[in-house]
Amino acid sequence: MDRMNWNTKALNRADRLARARHEIGGRLAGKVVATEAIVTLLEATLEPGDRVCLEGNNQKQADFLAQALNQVDPQRVHRLHMVQSVLALPEHLDIFENGVASRLDFSFSGPQGARLAKLVSANRIEIGAIHTYLELFARYFVDLTPKVALVAAHAADAEGNLYTGPNTEDTPAIVEATAFSGGIVIAQVNELVDGRATSLPRIDIPAGWVDFVVKAPRPNFVEPLFTRDPAQISEIQVLMAMMAIKGIYAEYGVQRLNHGIGFDTAAIELLLPTYGESLGLKGKICRHWALNPHPALIPAIEAGWVESIHSFGSELGMEDYIRARSDVFFTGADGSLRSNRAFCQAAGHYACDLFIGSTLQIDLDGNSSTATLGRITGFGGAPNMGADARGRRHASEAWLKAGRQAREGRGGAAGTPRGQKLVVQMVETFREHMQPAFVERLDAWTLQEQAGMALPPIMIYGEDVTHILTEEGIANLLLCRDDTEREQAIRGVAGYTAVGLARDRRIVENLRDRGVIRRPEDLGIDPREATRNLLAARSMRDLVRASHGLYAPPKRFRHW
Amino acid sequence: MSNITPGLETLDYTFAGRRPAGVFAPVLVGVVGSGNLEVLLEPVPGADCAVRIETSARGFGQVWEAVVRDFHQRHPLGGLRVSINDMGATPAVVSLRLDQAISEVRELQP
């Protein structure tokens, strides 16, 4: 090949920087761009067809830069290919309606899911793929490298060093990929410090990786996604939490784990210092966590259950509590939390023995999905947490026991000794409004047809699910030896749903005799003892009290 | 739920008792609130177990029948009236309330 220039990226980067300096003129001081010059900066640095990461995390949002991107001239900036983990704000989709962007690769769209589906069917957005978080970050370093990254930090100094603080989240992964591939990094910050009278608490992103900094007129938006008010936990959730602790955590000796986001798992967290303590399990289970700073875990931390927690992001109101419990949380020398979604996703995948979370639908193969018709949402981190880590090689008691159960009696490659991750789906058989959690056919299949996807959007594959836990019992799928047993094990805990009522009672009783299905009474649990009195905190106020006043819930959770 | 229509649905089931419930002061458990229900147990003459359900969630007769049939299998009592006032409770909550009510009857009995 006759290639004359191997440094086109560097030249292009220099062109963009020169254009920006020229167009911004006196409104640029070092790396600091005047707030009112932000649209000019974006028009000068962006080129048509650029791959752009507009930092949208699960929690923290580069909202000022998102608004600015909607104000650029589409004649000049168009056909952008957006590569960001979360579409949380209306602005994230406005740029497609405004003709600035046309293609999208992402992980999760939550509240924007219905609008996204409409834009896709109107051909306003072309979706590349829907990823897990870690999968999208991985592609930043292979074939989805951003040319321009628009990120959010808490503060910057005059040189352009960034303090991302407790909600560091995706920022390091985005900036690393962009800054080391000839790209341009622009950061919005809540505060500028001068480095003399005021300085950064610590440096999370070094100045050499950052090209421009702009002070946003308002602090960046952060959503408290992981706060669950204990007042809303039901007796059935308490019952299911008792079954999880006694029937799975104690059974396998689970020391390292990740919890999903819902009330079901919040109930488990709140039962550790009460029910867990009464079973003598302290120190034997739940010592190490890959988890956001869930307020519901405060009573267990205070009771000495928890040795370490590494977090994907932070949680509003937990700042002072985290600072005061630096033995437990990953914190900087300044005392504040350092989260990192990429590392925590890796930790959850490779270093945890159990994932437990809720879902909306489970089919007879154990496939589980939260996809619903008319919405394209993706699953964020759940498919990564809720999958066996096939590359794992280190052993632990829980991992080995699950692996033995899955392989017992098998020969050949399927019988080669190895461990397996425990992946638990925890659902009440009927959700609110009597929607059955068990179905013959997932909505995901219809959604695939409607949206023309390559595959049905399944959150956790049945092959990876090891246990299904409902108020009726626990189905241990590791012990099932064929598809019929698996189907009947699932029907056998599906309660009064149509799927549950259609069970073969003889096979189900046989599975129960073999311990494949275990009812509360088989575990020595009396459902009548499952009362809210077992919760270590029954209200937000109880959580504040348990934290010795260090936890400061956001206003919407204060009912006193 | 899409098929909730205004007005209550009333469902009646009768089972033959295999054990007399005996004499006891009426027992009331639960509360009428969204996603919850009230269960009243009273002794009545005769050998049957009569269940009357008034529910705000219409169209779930098949599920109710299965839930109360299982209840009667666990506690095959006769001379018993079970009155349920439901506001969209899930079957799990219904079964739990029924079992709680039965335990209270046992505690009250001499």
Q: Taking Cα atoms as reference points, which of A273, A274, A236 lies closest to residue A527?
A: A236
Mapped onto helix, strand or coil, the DSSP state of residue A146 is coil
Give the Å distances, CA to CA, from A421 to A96, A266, A292, A465: 40, 21, 20, 9
Q: How far is CA A48 from the centre of its chain?
A: 31
Identify the closest residue of chain A to B30 by CA–CA distance. Answer: A235
Average pLDDT of span A413-431: 96
And the tokens for A377?
A: 């949402």
What CA–CA distance (Å, rounded) separates A492 from A489? 5
Residue count (chain B): 110
Angle between helices B61-74 and B91-108 (to 10 degrees): 30
The token pair at B53 is: 């359900």
- A278 pLDDT exceeds 70? yes
Residues of A in contact with B75 (CB under 8 A): none
Instruction: Count Cβ atoms below 10 Å from residue A373 Cβ, excluding itself.
Output: 10
Rounded CA-CA distance A496/A109 in Å is: 33
Q: Is A531 on the interface with B (CB under 8 A)?
A: no
Residue A112's contacts (CB-CB under 8 Å, 6 or more residues apart) are A87, A88, A89, A90, A92, A93
Closest residue in A to B1 (Cα) is: A433
Q: What's the ipTM?
A: 0.90
Closest chain A CA to residue B98: A528
| Predicted local distance difference test score (pLDDT) of residue A270 | 98
Among all residues of chain A, which has the CA nearest to that of B69? A496
Count A/B contacts: CB-CB distance under 8 Å.
47
- Is the pLDDT score of A411 beyond 70? yes
Start-end of H helices in A417-525: 443-451, 483-491, 498-501, 505-513
Percent of chain A surpassing pLDDT 90: 93
Mark yes or no for CB contact A495/B99 under 8 Å. no
CB contact (8 A) between residue B92 and residue A432: no
Partners of A496 on chain B (C-beta within 8 Å) are 63, 66-67, 91
| A32 reaches B (C-beta below 8 A) | no
For residue B33, name the pLDDT band (cuts at 50, 70, 90): confident
pLDDT given at position B1: 41
Q: How many CA atoms lie within 13 A of A335 on its CB side?
A: 7
**A232: closest chain B residue by CA:** B35
- Going by their DSSP bridges, the two strands A354-357 and A422-426 should be labelled as parallel
Distance between CA atoms of residues A310 and A261, nearest Å: 15
Q: Does A234 touch chain B (CB under 8 A)?
A: yes
Question: How far away is chain B from the Cα of A266, in angstroms, using its nearest Cα?
Answer: 19
The CB-side HSE value for A113 (13 A sphere, CA atoms) comes to: 18
- Dihedral sign, Cα of residue A486, residue A489, residue A493, residue A494: positive
CB A506 within 8 A of CB A494: no
Written as one string, the DSSP assignment of A277-323 is HHTT-BTTB--EEE----GGGHHHHHTT--SEEE-SS--TT-HHHHH
Give me the pLDDT at residue A257, please.
98
Minimum Cα–Cα distance from A429: chain B residue: B92
Interchain CB contact of A433 with B (< 8 Å)? yes
Mean pLDDT, rounded, of chain A = 96
Largest separation between any pair of C-alpha atoms in chain B: 47
What pLDDT, on the 0 to 100 scale, is given for residue B38? 96
A434 to B1: CB separation less than 8 angstroms, yes or no: yes
For residue B63, list chain A residues with Cβ-Cβ distance below 8 A: 434, 496
Q: Does the structure show a pLDDT above 90 at A547?
A: yes
Query: In which band, very low, low, confident or very high, does the pLDDT at B6 lie, cut at 50, 70 and 90?
Result: low
Predicted confidence at residue A433, as pLDDT, reads 82
- Residue A479 pLDDT more than 50? yes
Looking at chain A from residue 259 to 278, which residues have their Cβ under 8 Å from any Cβ of chain B?
none
Mutate to test the interface with B, among A242, A429, A469, A496 (most CBs of B within 10 A): A496
- C-alpha distance from B48 to closest chain A C-alpha (Å): 24
Per-residue pLDDT at A42 exceeds 50: yes
Q: How much is the pLDDT for A21?
A: 97
Reply yes or no on whether the pLDDT at A144 is more than 80.
yes
**Chain B residues whose beta carbon lies within 8 Å of the beta carbon of residue A519:** none
Between A169 and A3, where is the model more confident?
A169
Q: Is pLDDT above 80 for B108?
A: no
Contact call for B100 and A528, based on CB within 8 A = yes
**Phi and psi torsions of B71, nearest 5°:** -60, -45
Q: Cβ separation of A528 and B60 shorter than 8 Å?
A: no
Per-residue pLDDT tens digits for B69-81? 999 999 999 999 9
Test A235 with B90 for CB contact under 8 angstroms.
Answer: no
Residue in chain A closest to B104 (alpha carbons) equals A528
A512 residue type, one letter: R
User: B45 vs chain A: nearest CA distance in angstroms?
Assistant: 29
pLDDT confidence of residue A1? 56
Instruction: Kindly report the nearest CA distance between residue A532 and chain B, in angstroms.
Output: 14
* C-alpha to C-alpha distance for A340 and A330, rounded to whole angstroms: 10
Cα angle A315, A549, A289; round to 5 = 40
Q: State residue A85 phi and psi, 5-degree precision.
A: -70, -45
Tokens 């006193």 sit on residue = A560
- Who's near B70: CB < 8 A, 6+ residues apart? B95
Could you report the per-residue pLDDT of B36-51, keeping only the tens digit for each? 999 999 999 999 999 9
B57, B67, B88: residue with CB nearest A496: B67
Q: Does A395 touch chain B (CB under 8 A)?
A: no
A235: contact with B, CB 8 A cutoff? yes
Dist CA A214 CA A380 (whole Å): 29
* Residue A253: both structure tokens together: 């000796």
Cα–Cα distance between A346 and A352 in angstroms, integer? 9
Cβ distance of A496 and B66 shorter than 8 Å: yes
Q: Residue A337 corresponds to which tokens in the numbers above?
A: 């939390």
The structure tokens listed for B19 are 């054990």
Task: Say yes or no to pLDDT of B109 above 80.
Answer: no
**Torsion angle, CA of B96/B102/B108/B110, rounded to 10 degrees?**
-150
pLDDT of residue A195: 81
Q: How far apart are CA A389 and CA A393, in angstroms?
A: 9
* A499 contact B CB<8A: no
Chain B positions touching chain A (beta carbons under 8 Å):
1, 4, 35, 57, 60, 62-63, 66-67, 88, 90-93, 96, 99-100, 103
Positive/negative CA dihedral, A17, A22, A25, A27: negative
Å from A343 to nearest chain B CA? 39
Tell me how far apart the 2 most distant CA atoms of chain A are, in Å.
82
Which of A237, A264, A433, A501 best tests the B interface by mutation, with the highest count of B CBs <10 A?
A433
Which residue does chain B place closest to A435, by CA atoms?
B1
Q: Considering only the beta carbons, identify the residue of A239, A430, A530 that sits closest to B91.
A: A430
| Nearest-by-Cβ selection for A501 from B57, B66, B88 | B66
The torsion region of residue A422 among left (phi > 0), alpha (psi -120 to 50) and beta comes to beta
Closest CA to B41 of B110, B105, B96, B94: B105
Vertex A242: Cα angle to A240 and A245 (nearest 5): 110
**Cα first-last separation, chain A:** 73
Instruction: Report in angstroms the alpha-carbon separations of A328 from A293, A323, A536.
Output: 10, 10, 19
Q: What angle do CA B50, B62, B89 make, to 5 degrees?
A: 80
Looking at residue B3, its pLDDT comes to: 47
- State how far residue A363 is from chain B, nearest Cα, in angstroms: 19
pLDDT of residue A560: 78
Is the pLDDT at A291 greater than 50? The verdict is yes
Mean pLDDT to the nearest integer, A402-411: 96
Q: What is the pTM of this model?
A: 0.95
pLDDT at A205: 98
What radius of gyration do chain B's Cα atoms show?
14
Residue labelled with tokens 């020391």? A255
What interhelical angle do A38-45 and A8-24 show, nearest 10?
150
Please choose, from the candidates A389, A382, A379, A312, the residue with its C-alpha nearest in 3D space to the C-alpha of residue A352.
Answer: A389
Rounded to a whole number, what is the distance in angstroms from the first to the last CA of chain B? 44
CA distance B99 to chain A (A): 7
Taking an 8 Å cut-off on Cβ atoms, the answer to whether B92 and A429 are in contact is: yes
Other Cβ atoms within 10 Å of A428 Cβ, number = 23
Note whether B91 contacts A235, CB cutoff 8 Å.
no
Is the CB of B92 less than 8 angstroms away from the CB of A471?
Answer: yes
Half-sphere exposure of residue A372, counting CA atoms within 13 Å on the CB side?
11
